[in-house]
Each structure stands twice: as C-alpha cells, then as structure tokens.
Amino acid sequence: MNQEMNGDHGTENHHHQLNNILHEKIDYVFKVVVIGDSAVGKTQILSRFTKNEFSFDSKSTIGVEFQTRTVTIKGKLIKAQIWDTAGQERYRAVTSAYYRGALGAMLVYDITKRQSFDHVARWVEELRAHADNSIRIILIGNKSDLVDLRAVPTEDAVEFAEDQGLFFSETSALNGDNVETAFLRLLEEIYSVVSKKELECSNDKTDAAMLKGSKIDVISGPELEISEMKKLSTCSCGF
Ligand SMILES: Nc1nc2c(ncn2[C@@H]2O[C@H](COP(=O)(O)OP(=O)(O)OP(=O)(O)O)[C@@H](O)[C@H]2O)c(=O)[nH]1
Ligand SMILES: [Mg+2]
C-alpha cells in the first residue's frame, strides 16, 4: 500500500501527490455521529464544517451519509469521519450500526424550537444505550442567527449540559458561527481520550505486546482505520 511513496516526483500530478502524502500520514480516523430532531440543522452544520457550504432548501436526510475532513490536533493528522442520519424516526437507519465505533457525538437542537431541546434527554438516553461508554458528547444549540425567534435560553442548555457531563456550544450553520470551534473541541476531547488510553495501555506490560502495531502509520481504508480504533478502545486497560 506504500508503493505511491516511491520518490518519483518528476511526472506525477502535484495535487494527486499531495493527496497521497496527506492520506499516508493520517494518524487517526475518528468516527463522529450527528444526532437530534429533524430540521434542527444537522446536515447543514456538517456541510458547513466539511465544505464551507450552506443551503436554505436542505432536504430531510434519508438513511445514513457521512462526510470527512482532515484536521491537525496536537501535531497529529486526524481524519474526522462524520455520520449524519435522519432525525425523523421512520427514516432512521439501524441504530446500533450507526453508533458502532463512534468516539464522539454532536447532539443538535434548534434554539428556536423548544421541543427539539426537550427531546435532547431522549437522545442522550439513546447514546448511553447504544454507544461506547467513553463517547464524548457535545450539545449544540443551532440557528443562533435567529436571535428574535429564540425559544431556548442559553442558561437552560448550559445547566442541562453540566448536569449530564456534556460539552456545549451554540452555533449557526448559516453564518458559520462556532461550527469549526465546536467540531475541533469535540475532536480534541476525543484525541485526549484516545491518547490517554494509548498511554495507559503502553504502561501496562500485559497489553504492550498486543498494542504494538496498532498505532496507525499507513492506512488503506476507513474500515481498517475504524477497526484499528475499535481495537484500541476495547483494550482491557481502563474504560
Ligand atoms: N437560520 C438558520 N437556518 C438553518 C441553520 N441550519 C439549518 N438551517 C435550516 O434548517 C432547515 C433544516 O436543516 P437540515 O440541516 O436539513 O436539518 P436536519 O437536522 O439535517 O434534518 P433531518 O435530516 O430531517 O434530520 C433547512 O431549511 C436549513 O436551511 C442555521 O444555522 N440558521
Ligand atoms: Mg439531515
């Protein structure tokens, strides 16, 4: 899988080469799921983060889609693989498959729709039931641009988030406010969980041999990457 890195710089398309180099150097792939009621803006937050795009006539998501963006955190190249599904129950994909291997979750409500905030507790329950215990969760109050239509006071959300041990931010997919910061915050939190696990595992002599080779230097596809992360997150030291 490393044959493209053969130093033949003369003929290759420069852009293609850069992509290869970037890909080969990715240290981690973090799966993140986006959840919350229909129409709160999940798909638009995602497209703001991965493509810097926004659409007013966004269609309801059917089934599951994912998008990726690669960022640098603490000197590591991290590919965020962000999964998006329908908020509407009847369009939602099989829950357990959606949450499998997820290291982070973005739980979105709409600051102009009280009901979408009232449902947040149910979404947290679903996460606790289906996702890994060490999953990091950020609560997002979206559509902060609609100042005059606000129905959920920031303090209510802050209180709920503190109570449940979630991170919290208000965002606007429309004007981009806090979208990048919120994703980066979540990815940093995931990174700190993963690197702590690695450290604990490498300090534990019985696990040291098992973990040798699970550090990803060269990777070939999302499945492999995720299974490597899963191996890491299910190792027997802590968590
Ligand atoms: N004003 C404003 N509108 C937004 C914002 N984010 C999303 N919208 C609008 O809200 C509507 C729903 O957005 P989506 O991203 O499709 O919602 P969703 O949560 O993915 O909905 P489902 O796929 O049905 O679960 C669309 O009309 C968007 O244009 C925002 O930050 N501000
Ligand atoms: Mg959607």
DSSP line for 169-215: EE--TTT-TTHHHHHHHHHHHHHHHHHHHHHHHHHSHHHHHHHTT-S
The strand pair at 64-73 and 76-85 is best described as: antiparallel
- Please state, in angstroms and rounded to a whole number, the distance separating the CA atoms of residues 224 and 226: 5
Q: Is the CB of 174 under 6 A from ligand 1?
A: yes
Neighbours of ion ligand 2 (CB under 5 A): 42-43, 61
Q: Residue 134 in contact with residue 191, Cβ under 8 Å?
A: no
Highest mean pLDDT among 59-68, 84-93, 176-185: 176-185
Tell me what pLDDT residue 218 has.
Answer: 44
Helix (H) or strand (E) holding 70: strand 64-73
What pTM was computed for the model?
Answer: 0.81
Distance from Cα 223 to the centre of ligand 1, integer Å: 29
CATH architecture group of domain 24-193: 3-Layer(aba) Sandwich (3.40)
Q: What is the pLDDT of residue 217?
A: 43
Q: Say which residue, 129 or 89, is predicted with more confidence.
A: 129
Q: Is 156 helix (H, G, I), strand (E, B) or coil?
A: helix
- Amino acid residing at 80: A
Cα-to-centroid distance, 106 and ligand 2 (Å): 13
**Facing residues of 30 across strands?**
80
With a 6 A CB cut-off, is 179 part of the ligand 1 pocket? no
- The confidence band for 13, taking pLDDT boundaries of 50, 70 and 90, is low
Do residues 40 and 87 make contact, with C-beta atoms less than 8 angstroms apart?
A: yes
What burial letters (b/e) apply to 65-90, b meaning 16+ CB within 10 Å?
Answer: ebbebebebeeebbbbbbbbbbbeee
At residue 214, does pLDDT exceed 60? no
User: Which tens digit of pLDDT belongs to each residue from 172-181?
Assistant: 999 999 999 9
Residue 237 banded pLDDT, cuts 50, 70, 90: very low
Q: Is 64 in the pocket of ligand 1 (CB under 6 A)?
A: no
Mutate to test the pocket of ligand 1, among 33, 34, 35, 43 (most ligand atoms within 8 A of CB): 43
Using the predicted structure, report yes or no on whether residue 10 has a pLDDT greater than 50: no
